[in-house]
Structure 1
Amino acid sequence: MKKIFQILCLIVRFISGFIILMQGYEKITGGFSLEGLTKVIAQNEDSPTWYKQFFEHIIAPYTTLWEWVIPLGEIMIGLALILGFLQYYAALFGIFIMINYILADMIFTYPMQLIGFIIIALNVERLRNVSAHAFYKMFMKKEAG
Structure 2
Amino acid sequence: MLNNFLRTNKIAAAVLAVIRVYIGVTWLKAGIGKLTGGFEVQGFLQGAISQAAGEHPAVQGWWAAFLEGFALPNHTLFAQLVMWGEILAGIALILGLFTTAAAFGGILMNFAFLFSGTVSTNPQMVILTVFILAAGINAGRYGLDHWIVPFMQKRLPHIRKGQLAHT
Unaligned residue ranges in structure 2 (runs of 5+): 52-56, 151-167
**Is it true that 1:12 corresponds to 2:24 in the alignment?**
no
Number of aligned positions between the proteins: 138
- The CA distance in 1 between the partners of 2:111 and 2:149, in whole Å, is 34
Paired AA for residue 112 in structure 1: Q
Match of residue 31, structure 1, among 34, 38, 42:
38
- The CA distance in 2 between the partners of 1:39 and 1:133, in whole Å, is 39
Contact 2:110 2:122 in 1 (8 A): yes
TM-score, normalized by length of structure 1?
A: 0.87
**Is it true that 1:98 corresponds to 2:110 in the alignment?**
yes
- How much does 1:137 deviate? 7.8
**Could you say if the C-alpha distance between residues 7 and 133 of structure 1 is closer, same or farther in structure 2, counting changes exceeding 3 Å?**
closer
- The CA distance in 2 between the partners of 1:15 and 1:8, in whole Å, is 11
Paired AA for residue 32 in structure 1: F
- The CA distance in 2 between the partners of 1:6 and 1:131, in whole Å, is 10
- How much does 1:135 deviate? 4.0
**Could you say if the C-alpha distance between residues 42 and 128 of structure 1 is closer, same or farther in structure 2, counting changes exceeding 3 Å?**
closer
TM-score, normalized by length of structure 2?
A: 0.76
**Structure having the larger proportion of residues in helix:** 1
- Structure 2 partner of 1:124: 136
Which secondary structure does the structure 2 equivalent of 1:123 belong to? helix
Paired AA for residue 24 in structure 2: G
- The CA distance in 1 between the partners of 2:49 and 2:145, in whole Å, is 44
Q: Please, what is the CA RMSD of the aligned residues?
A: 1.8
**Could you say if the C-alpha distance between residues 11 and 57 of structure 1 is closer, same or farther in structure 2, counting changes exceeding 3 Å?**
same
Paired AA for residue 63 in structure 1: H
